[in-house]
Amino acid sequence: MERTGTILRGRALEPVEGRIVVDDEGRIAAIEEESVESDDIILPAFVNAHTHIGDSIAKEAGGGLSLEELVAPPDGLKHRLLRAADRDDLVSAMARSLQFMERAGTAACLDFREGDVAGVRMLEDAADGLEIDALSFARGSVDAMRAGDGFGASGANDTEFGDERQATREAGKPFGIHAGEVDASDIDPALDLEPDFLVHMVHPEPAHLERVADQEVPIVVCPRSNLVTDVGLSPYSDLAERTTLALGTDNVFLNSPSMFREMEFLAKLSELPADEILRMATVHGAEIADLEYGLLEPDREAQLLVLDGDSDNLAGARDPVRAVVRRAGVDDVREVVYGDGERAD
């Protein structure tokens, strides 16, 4: 299988005119530079590094509520709605969000999965038959982590997560935790757990920034969510100088799980360059979850997003990376090509 167009190659996302060849095992066999007639833009499919898609049952609920009123366990609005919902309704709503992400070019999402082992099974059912890798960063128990793909902790002020952290080490699975979303009080105890990644980090102080750099802990930022919940915005440039940043869309009841929207929003409110934001939306999230894709390079697993570079929206773009980050949307998606040869049109 091959696709032609402008290929955003490697970690530098260098625009190369030519063809990308995928072998029968679903890996990139070659990227060949040559003149082609196609206007398509070919890039790695996205990795959404932080979602809560169980909230799909209540999109745009809770307008005007504080972050604590919305999501704080055990009685924030989302938790009450999740407890009251029928299992089939939850699975159906999550499946529709996954289908949207798949059509919009997302190859994987790292979902902080409520509901213990049962919640992990619900996400598995929701993803059944889809190409997207829906990874469960389970919550509620060590058994849930073992059933899923890792552990996703709510925050170090909620409880002590030492046992769960040790269990993830023994299982060889990643441990992520919310930190610094409302204030700085939970950042040090979160870092004390030596997590594999942090989520949000809106309120780090200078000492926290140095700890992040020393521990080399990646951070997933969720700018649209932070704006909606009125907690502020992360110091993106300060964080990017010290560690690897990835990008997530957070709660589906607050924001659509669109990486296009998240990238555009971040690009227009921060000083981060477009190529760095696109890496945040692709390879950086893939590396947190130890996925084999996220870059277009030979021998990588092929998860390709093909955009119509001659769409009314993208025609005439002089810089394909900036166009992808600041302008492109789901209407520009021509196809998503997965390593197993399946396609989402």
- Per-residue model confidence as pLDDT tens digits over 115-139: 999 999 999 999 999 999 999 999 9
Residue 342: its pLDDT value, please? 53
Rounded to an integer, what distance in angstroms lies between the CA atom of residue 190 and that of residue 151? 13
Residue 78: its pLDDT value, please? 77
Under the banding of pLDDT at 50, 70 and 90, the label for residue 103 is: very high
Return the residue matching tokens 């504080």: 66
Phi, psi (rounded to 5 degrees) for 155? 170, 150
SS3 state of residue 283: helix
Q: Point out which residues pair with 19 in neighbouring strands.
A: 4, 32
Rounded to an integer, what distance in angstroms lies between the CA atom of residue 50 and that of residue 66? 20
Rounded to an integer, what distance in angstroms lies between the CA atom of residue 259 and that of residue 294? 14
Under the banding of pLDDT at 50, 70 and 90, the label for residue 344 is: low
Rounded to an integer, what distance in angstroms lies between the CA atom of residue 227 and that of residue 250? 12
Under the banding of pLDDT at 50, 70 and 90, the label for residue 343 is: low
pLDDT at 317 over 90: yes
Which tokens sit at 116? 């213990």
Residue 170: CB atoms within 10 A of its CB come to 9
pLDDT at 341 over 60: no
Helix axes 87-103, 116-127, angle to 10 degrees: 50
Under the banding of pLDDT at 50, 70 and 90, the label for residue 345 is: low
Rounded to an integer, what distance in angstroms lies between the CA atom of residue 27 and that of residue 72? 42
Q: What is the pLDDT of residues 16-73, one digit of tens each?
A: 999 999 999 999 999 999 999 999 999 999 999 999 999 898 888 877 788 888 877 7
Residue whose C-alpha is closest to residue 266's, from 56, 258, 98: 258
Q: Is residue 98 within 8 Å of 132, Cβ to Cβ?
A: yes
Phi, psi (rounded to 5 degrees) for 300? -80, 150
Under the banding of pLDDT at 50, 70 and 90, the label for residue 300 is: very high
Output DSSP code: residue 202. -
Q: What is the pLDDT averaged over residues 180-199? A: 98
Rounded to an integer, what distance in angstroms lies between the CA atom of residue 308 and that of residue 320? 11
- 128: region left, alpha or beta (phi > 0 left; psi from -120 to 50 alpha): beta
Within 8 A by CB and 6+ apart from 170, the residues are none
